[in-house]
Structures are given as structure tokens and as C-alpha cells.
Amino acid sequence: MHWIDPDSLPEIRGKVIRFLLNPHGEIDGIVLDSQQVHFPPHLANKLARHVATGEVARVRGVKPRGANMLAAVSLTTRSGVQILDEGPHHDGEKPAKPHIERKPMEASGEVVLSLFGPKGELRGALLDDGTSLRMPPHAAAELASYLAPGAHVQAWGKGVRNRHGRTIEVDEIAELVDAPSPA
């Protein structure tokens, strides 16, 4: 979003709870307190170098309608490092996606946060164990009740685990009907 002046946008502050990964294993966001903050993958390396979980950060961005997320334009760390989205490389070549071997994985648990794409489209869910479940927007729209906070699900697909987290590109998902009910 290189054309937007970040100083013109509202600012939120909070603690970085965890990183979010896309299906390629790249950081494409953080959870700031209880809100998703989306970053484009071309900022993944800067985020990994300058942001740590537990750190307090300030974010300026655009909030899509109907989504508990912020599409970040800038992030400022407590030490004053600013990560600014100035758009992807302008040299005409797109950087190659990292070649990460995705392995069969499964996960189950309670959904604590619905995950959205940069325009507010539902794209998955974050489970209570920190696993991100990802899927295309058309599939997520059909399965919205499975991706809502409080739902108990089990999911299968191909995934990636690295030092920043775990993500599964969902092939199948089921609601856990005998999941513990809240006390």
C-alpha cells in the first residue's frame, strides 16, 4: 500500500501475541492482543528480523468492513524501528515463493480467531494451540460457522511448521460434536 500515507491512518497499540503464516510458511500477519493484523508476504523478512512475540507495537492500517482485522500499512516497534509497506519490488520480477515442502498434518481445537485476507475476506481460523487453518475465500465463506470463534473443529490438509508457527492448508474440516462445553 505504498500510496497511502500511514500518518493519516488511525493507530492501534498492543502486544504481539503470535505470528501468522500463509500456506507457503511466510509470515503474513500477527495477532496484536486479540486482533489480526495482515501484512503482505514481501514484508515477512523484515517482520521476522524486527518484531518479537511479547513485544508492544504500534500499527497503522486500513480496517475492512465486517472483519476483525487490520490491513497494516506500517508497524513501529517499541525500539522505534518502522516497517512500512511500500509495495512489492518494482524491478518487474516477482520474487519466487519459497520452496517449502508441505507435509500431511491435522489439528483439532477451539477456534479463537477468524482469519481474514487483506480485503476482509474470510480465509480461515486460528486454533487455541496456535495453528492457523487456511483455505480459499469461496470455501471459507461456505464453512463460516466452522471458522467462527468458539467452534470446535478438526482439520486435515498439507501444512508447514517453522520457528514462527504452524499453518495447514485445509483439505477437510469437521466440527467436533463431543467437544467440551464451556463451564
C-alpha separations of 103 from 77, 97, 172 in Å = 34, 17, 15
Domain span at 75: 6-84
pLDDT bracket for residue 89 (50, 70, 90): low
Flag whether 46 is in a domain: yes
Flag whether 49 is in a domain: yes
Flag whether 142 is in a domain: yes
pLDDT bracket for residue 87 (50, 70, 90): confident
Residue 163 and residue 123 share a domain: yes
pLDDT bracket for residue 94 (50, 70, 90): low
* Mean pLDDT computed over 84-90: 77
Residue 107 and residue 58 share a domain: no
The pTM (predicted TM-score) of the whole model is 0.88
Flag whether 1 is in a domain: no
Flag whether 156 is in a domain: yes
Flag whether 42 is in a domain: yes
Tell whether the torsion through CA atoms of 33, 36, 37 and 43 is positive or negative. Answer: positive
Can you give the CATH number for the domain in which 138 is found? 2.40.50.140
Q: 10-65: per-residue pLDDT in tens?
A: 899 999 999 999 988 999 999 999 899 999 988 999 999 999 999 999 999 999 99
* Mean pLDDT computed over 78-99: 73
* Mean pLDDT computed over 128-153: 97
Residue 117 and residue 75 share a domain: no
Exposure of 182 by Cβ count < 10 A (0-12 exposed, 13-18 middle, 19+ buried)? exposed
Residue 57 and residue 20 share a domain: yes
Q: Which of 95 and 120 is assigned the larger pLDDT?
A: 120
For the chain, the distance separating the N- and C-terminal CA atoms, rounded to the nearest angstrom, is 44
Residue 10 and residue 78 share a domain: yes
* Position 168 pLDDT exceeds 80: yes
pLDDT bracket for residue 88 (50, 70, 90): confident
* Position 156 pLDDT exceeds 90: yes
* Mean pLDDT computed over 169-174: 97
Residue 162 and residue 111 share a domain: yes
Flag whether 94 is in a domain: no
* Mean pLDDT computed over 107-113: 97
pLDDT bracket for residue 76 (50, 70, 90): very high
Flag whether 31 is in a domain: yes
Averaged pLDDT score across all residues of the chain: 90
Total of domains in the chain: 2
* Final residue before a domain boundary, out of 37, 54, 84: 84
